[in-house]
A and B are shown apart, each in its own frame.
Chain A
Amino acid sequence: MADSALPAPGTIGGAIDVTPHHKAPGTFLETLHSWVVTVDHKKLGIMYVLYALVFLLVGGVEALCIRIQLGRPENHFLSPEVYNRFFTMHGTTMVFLMGMPMLVGFMNYLVPLMIGARDMAFPRLNAFSFWMTAFGGLMLYYSFIGGSGLYAAGNAPDVGWFAYAPLTARAFSPGHSTDYWTVSLLVSGVGTIGAAVNVIATVFCMRCKGMTMMRLPLFAWLSVVTSALILMAIPPLTAAQVMLMIDRYLGGHFFDTLAGGSALMWMHFFWIFGHPEVYILVMPAFAVANEVIPVFSRKPIFGYPAMVAASVGIAFVSLGVWAHHMFTVGMTSVGNAFFALSTMIVGIPTGIKIFNWLATMWGGKIRFATPMLYMTAFLFQFLMAGLTGIMLSVAPWNWQLHNSYFVVAHFHYVLVGAILFALMGGICYWYPKVTGRMLDEKLGKWGFWLLVIGFHMTFDFMHIPGLLGMPRQIYTYEAGRGWDTWNLIVSIGAFVQAAAVLLFAYNLLVSYFRGEVAGNDPWDAWTLEWATSSPPPEYNFVADPVVTSRRPLWDMKHPEDPDWKYE
C-alpha cells in the first residue's frame, strides 16, 4: 500500500462545517417538492428507511392477523382465501418492501458519509432506484383494490412468497393477482439493482484522499459485498419473473409440465435468488454490528482483514447452496450431499465473524446503551439461528422437517432475531446523526426488552409445533394434536413484539421533537460520518476530508496516540 504518499494526520478538521446555517423553513409544498425531486443521498436514504418502516407496520399487521387465526384450533378469524393472501403478502412485504429498502436506505445514507464523499456516484440513478422501489411496493398493494380482474378470482397474490409452479399457471391462478406479484417484484428488483450499481461505483470511485480499501469502514466494505450479491442474485429472480410472465401472458411453456416444461426449474431459479437473498439481508446486519460493537466496546474491531475475507467468503459460498431448500423434491444423493456440505461450509466464515465480534467485546469497556443492547441480542440470536440452520442443512433431518413450523421458526430467527434486531440497533445508533436529536434512552430500553421477550415467546416456542409436525401455510388445525398451547404462546408473543415495535416507532416520533440535542458525535465514535454536523449539511463536508487510518476521528481526537502509527 502506498502509505508513504499519504498526508500527515490531523487533516480532517477542515472537513467540519463551522458555518451556522439558519435557513427559514419553507412552506409545506416547498418541503414536499424538495423531497420528491431530491437526488441527495441522505434524503433518499431517509425515504428508503421510512418507506421500509411503513411496510414493517403493514407486514406486521398481516402477521398479527395470521397469528390470531392460528392462535386457537379450528379458528375462523380469516377466511381461507384471505389467509392465503395474508401469508403471501406478509412474506413478500417483509422481504422486498421492508428488508431490502431498509438496507438500501442504510447504505445510501451512510456509505458516502463514511467514505468522505459528497454524494453517491450517480445521484439521479439513486433517485430513480428509490422511486422504482416505491412504485413496486405501491403496485403490489394496489392489487388489494384492482387485482381481481375476473369475477371472484381473488385480489391480492395468494401463491406464497416463493410462488411455486404450477400454482402460478393461468389455470390455477386466474385473474391478475399473480401478475401483480410478478410485475411489482420485477419493478422493485430494477430499483434494487440500480442501488447496488450505485453503491459499488461510489465505494470504488468516490473515496476521499487516503481512504484505501483496507481503511474503508467495515460498513462500507460489507455494503460492497451486499451490492455484489444483489447483482448476482436479483437478476435470476428477474429472469424467472420474465419467464413466468411469458407463460402467463404469451402462452409460453417454461413451467408448463403438460407441454414439456418443468415446475422444478422454477424452484431452482427462485432459490438461486432466494438463498443469496438471505445473505443480502443479513450482510447489512453484520455491517451495522461491525460499526456499533467496537464503538460501544471502546476497542477497534478485532480482525479487520478476517472480517472482510469472511464476508466475501460468505457471499461466494452462498451462491452455491440454493438447493438445500429442495431436499424433498428428490435429488440424487450426490446432489443432496453437495448441498448439505456447501451449506455447512457457510458456518465457517460466519463463525469467524461471531468470534471476531466476541473478541472485540472481550476486555472492552462495554457501554450498554440501547444500540449495544440490540447488538448483544443480535449476536446470541444469530448464533441460535445459525445452529438451527445447520440442523436443517442435514438432508435427512430436513426431509423430516421440510415445510414445517420448525423451518418457519428458523428463518424468522434469522430475519427478526438477527436482521431486524441489528437494523433497529442501527437506527438507534445513527438516529442522532440523521435528526440531530438523541432517542429517548428509557423508551428505547423498554422497547428493547419488550421486543426480546416477545421475540423469544414467539420464535423459541414456534420450533416445537414444527417438531411435532405442524406444516407451514396451513389455514387451521384440529384440537388435540399437541399444537394448541404452543400456538397460543406464539400468538401472544406476536402481540408483545407488536407493542415493542409500536413503542420503537413512537420513540422515533417523539424524540424527533423532544429529544436532547445530539451534537456531532454523541457516541464518541471513529468513522467520518460523525465528523460533520448532525444532521449533515447537503454537501456533507465543507472540504474533502483526508484520512490516514481506519479510525480517522480517533486520530483527530487523540493526536498524541493516533492509529496511523500502528498501521
Chain B
Amino acid sequence: MSAIPIPVHQVDQPAEWTQPYKGRVGMYCLIAAESAIFAIFVVAYVFYLGKSMYGPTPGQVLEVPIFNTICLLSSSITIWLAEHALEHNRIKRFGAFWAVTIVLGSIFMIGTGMEWNKLIYHDGLTITTNVFGTTYYSLVGLHASHVIVGLLMLLAVLVFTLMGHMKEEHAERVKTLALYWHFVDAIWVVVFTVVYVIGR
C-alpha cells in the first residue's frame, strides 16, 4: 500500500456546518415507507367497500369509536407536553406526561379489543366472513399493531425514566420516538375517516 505524502494544509475552521439529526431523518424515511403500506391498505379498503357478496355490512355492525379516538388523539398532546418538559430538564413532569400517554394509548387498545370482541362474538364478523371482514380487520389491525409497537417503545422509555436514566440530553432521541407516535395518531385520523365516516 503506497501512501502519497501530501503536506497537510492548515485547515481554516469552517464557520457553520450543520446537518440534520440522523435519527429524525431516519424516522421520516420510516414514516414515508409506512405511509406507503397504509396507503395500499386504505386504497384496498375503499375499493372493496360494498363488494361483499354477503353480510354483515359496515353500516350494520360498526359503531363510531368516539371515546377511543379522543383518547388516542389527546395522547399526541400529552406526548408533546412530555417532550417539552424533557427539553427543559423537568424530568418528573416528563415522566408524568409520558405515563399519561401510555395510559391513553392503552385505553385505545382496550377499546379496540372490546370492539373486536363485539364484532366477532356478537355480530359474527371475522376475517373470513366476507370481503368487508378481510379488509376491516387488516386495516384496523395494521394500525393497532403499530400502536402496540409504539406502546412497547414508550414503555421502555418509561422504565428508563423510573430507573433515573433519563436526562435532558436524550431529548432529541425521545422526540424521534414521539414522531413515530404522532404518525400513528395521524394514521388513525385517516383510518377513522375511511372506515367509520366514509365507509359506514
Please list the residues of chain A having a beta carbon within 8 angstroms of any beta carbon in chain B: 2, 5-8, 10-11, 13-14, 16-18, 20, 121-122, 125, 193, 196-198, 200-202, 204-207, 209-210, 227-228, 231-236, 238-240, 242-243, 246-247, 250-254, 258-262, 265, 269, 272, 436, 517, 519-520, 533-534, 543, 546, 556
Within 8 A of A (CB), among B28-69: 29-30, 32-34, 36-37, 39-41, 44, 47-48, 51-53
Question: A-facing mask of B96-129, CB < 8 A → 1, else 0?
Answer: 0000000000000000000000000000000110
A436 and B2 alpha carbons, distance in the complex (Å): 10
A102 and B17 alpha carbons, distance in the complex (Å): 33
Please list the residues of chain B having a beta carbon within 8 angstroms of any beta carbon in chain A: 1-9, 11-17, 19-22, 25-26, 29-30, 32-34, 36-37, 39-41, 44, 47-48, 51-53, 127-128, 130-131, 134-135, 138, 142
Residues of B near A197 (CB, < 8 A) are 26, 29-30, 33
CB <8 Å contact, B131 and A260: yes
CB <8 Å contact, B32 and A232: yes
B23 to chain A: closest residue by CB: A201
Contact of B1 among A20, A121, A201 (CB under 8 A): A20
A21 to chain B: closest residue by CB: B1
Residues of A near B40 (CB, < 8 A) are 235-236, 239-240, 269, 272
Residues of A near B29 (CB, < 8 A) are 196-197, 200-201, 227, 231
Minimum CB–CB distance for A266 against chain B, Å: 10
Please name 20 further chain A to chain B contacts, defined as beta carbons within 8 Å, in addition to the given A202-B22, A261-B134, sorted by A numbering.
A6-B14, A8-B9, A13-B6, A20-B3, A210-B17, A234-B33, A236-B37, A238-B37, A239-B37, A240-B40, A242-B138, A250-B127, A252-B127, A253-B134, A259-B131, A260-B131, A265-B44, A520-B2, A534-B1, A546-B14
- Tell whether A14 pairs with B11 under 8 Å between CB atoms, given A121-B22, A262-B48: yes
21 pairs, CB–CB < 8 Å, chain A vs chain B: A5-B15, A7-B11, A7-B13, A13-B6, A18-B3, A121-B22, A122-B22, A200-B25, A201-B25, A231-B29, A231-B32, A233-B36, A236-B40, A252-B127, A253-B128, A254-B131, A254-B134, A258-B53, A260-B131, A269-B40, A520-B2
CB <8 Å contact, B53 and A262: no
A399 and B1 alpha carbons, distance in the complex (Å): 59
Minimum CB–CB distance for B184 against chain A, Å: 16
Residues of B near A252 (CB, < 8 A) are 127-128, 134, 138
CB <8 Å contact, B9 and A260: no
CB <8 Å contact, A7 and B52: no
B34 to chain A: closest residue by CB: A235
4 cross-chain pairs, A with B, having the tightest CB-CB distances, nearest first: A235-B36, A13-B6, A251-B128, A239-B40
